[in-house]
Structure 1
Amino acid sequence: MILDADLTHDAFLGGLVHIWQPKKGYRAGTDPVMLAASVPAQSGQSVLELGCGAGTAALCLHTRVAGLRLVGVEVQSLYATLAARNAAGTSADMRVITSDLRDLPADLRQERFDHVIMNPPYFDRAKGDASADQGRDLALGGDTPLADWLGVGIRRVGPKGYLTVIQKIDRLPDVMAAIRGRLGSFVLRPIASTPTSAANLFLLRARQEGHAPMRICPPLIMHDGNRYTPEVEAILRNAAELSMDH
């Protein structure tokens, strides 16, 4: 059990949503907000987030698009408890399941969703050292291969549904290898810190039964000098959509 004194209650989307999360360990930043902003969800649809943490991405999506049915899966019981608490605090229709994504409950394995979203651990555990903080280590490295994350997610995408992923740019070949031949209509948007820096992250959307040619959008630039760019500012402060169409 964790006490409120060991948590922070942080504002996202300009204060439209607040998230309880640990002071120490993995803490959500801008990446889950960008993920949520890129999902083309519509009211009445269903969304599954694998590795939902404290619920930041799912609840930012709920704030932008009302009337969604959300399911979050999180292996760490502390974060799953916080996700459920945060969902209740935003009156979101969100069911949180504490489970290893490789061993989902039988009823969830029977469900398919309009959208599956994920922010898998960025670092390959086989190529780096573990963090001293278990929560941070699982969130950033974990012991579940990226291909397993994607395989589980793909199986939960319903007809004409979408999978949306945010990941480090050097993992793009791994992501494409896991998805190619199983989903289609790929849309890729790189993310770069500044106009002159190389992309360090990417957003990828793929569709069940999609047959459109792959599209690569211009990079999303996060900063212009010491400020967020207008596009990013609108996403972070006003719950604007992140376009994947240009």
Structure 2
Amino acid sequence: MAGFSAEELSLDDFLGGRVRLLQPRQGYRAGVDPVLLAAAVPARSGMRVLELGCGGGQALLCLAARVPGLALSGLELQANYADLARRNAALNAADLSVFEGDLSALPVDLRHQQFDHVIANPPYYRAGAHSPAQDAGRQIALGGDTPLELWFDAAARRLTHKGYLHMIQRADRLPEMLGACLGRLGSVEVLPLSPRVGRGAELVLLRARKGGRANFRLHAPLVLHEGARHTDDRESYVPEIRAVLREGAALPWPK
């Protein structure tokens, strides 16, 4: 399948302009979720990072802007988004290897590699559990056919011993995520993301370690917005989240 034409794309700023990304005008467009995911990863220069389902490379390139010197790889099912990730990597002068393939049948070259960190932002809905999108790319991004368990299995197989998985997902799928860690990953931590004080978490960030033995930790929710409700059109992120989204800061993961 041919990649996106120039007319089908917009050029958008992330991290206050530190990252510039081509995105389809009518397809899947990244919000804050991949930025928060990238900010949660405690990677250091020289480490190897793999994103499962990398889309146009948003999370990986945001991570690269914060931590230089990483060896980045992405796996993407849709050829046009894999091509877009390569174009975005070139646009941001980032060294990113993009593999096309499915989680259940990884490309041979990728199966022979190990990584210090694996990150993932899987489709938030089970296939058929949401209103269908008109755009095929957005439809796959919203509701994939691949069970969450396969995402965890692929991540665990590609991680080095003591390597970390970070995943962002809807809070109501946390039981699936925890079940998928059993026998694969340990030292599980969950950071709920609450839109405002007093509101239930809509998303969670999960951190798990291959070979980890620490007790499970459920952290207090990280609140994203100031105030009890949205009152006007101005941006209302709390200072810590604003620093993540606009300045490329690391996410304040609890100790």
Bucket of the pairwise TM-score, normalised by the shorter protein: over 0.9
Q: Paired residue for 1:131?
A: 133
Q: Which amino acid aligns with 1:164?
A: H
Q: Paired residue for 2:85?
A: 83
Q: Which of 230, 250, 253 is 1:241 aligned to?
A: 250
- Residue 244 (structure 1) shift: 2.1
Moved more, 187-196 or 42-51: 187-196
Q: Paired residue for 1:230?
A: 239
Q: Residue 121 of structure 1 contacts residue 138 of structure 1 at CA under 8 Å; is this kept in 2?
A: yes
- Residue 129 (structure 1) shift: 4.3
Q: Secondary structure at the match of 1:61?
A: helix
Moved more, 212-221 or 32-41: 212-221
- Is 1:187 matched up with 2:189? yes
Q: Secondary structure at the match of 1:9?
A: strand
Q: Which amino acid aligns with 2:244?
A: I
- TM-score, with normalisation over the residues of structure 2? 0.93
Output the CA distance in 1 between the equivalents of 2:241 and 2:40.
12
Q: Secondary structure at the match of 2:202?
A: strand
Matched length: 246
Gaps of 5+ in 1: none
Q: Paired residue for 1:51?
A: 53
Output the CA distance in 2 between the equivalents of 1:206 and 1:244.
13
- Residue 42 (structure 1) shift: 0.4
Percent identity between matched residues is 51
- TM-score, with normalisation over the residues of structure 1? 0.97
Moved more, 57-66 or 139-148: 139-148
Q: Deviations over 1:123-148 (max 9, x none)?
A: 01143443221101100101111111
Q: Secondary structure at the match of 1:125?
A: coil
Q: Which of 203, 206, 209 is 2:208 aligned to?
A: 206
Q: Which amino acid aligns with 1:155?
A: R
Measured on the aligned residues, the alpha-carbon RMSD in Å equals: 1.2
Q: Residue 188 of structure 1 contacts residue 244 of structure 1 at CA under 8 Å; is this kept in 2?
A: no
Output the CA distance in 2 between the equivalents of 1:51 and 1:89.
20
Moved over 6 A (4+): none
Q: Paired residue for 1:41?
A: 43
Gaps of 5+ in 2: 231-235
Q: Paired residue for 2:33?
A: 31
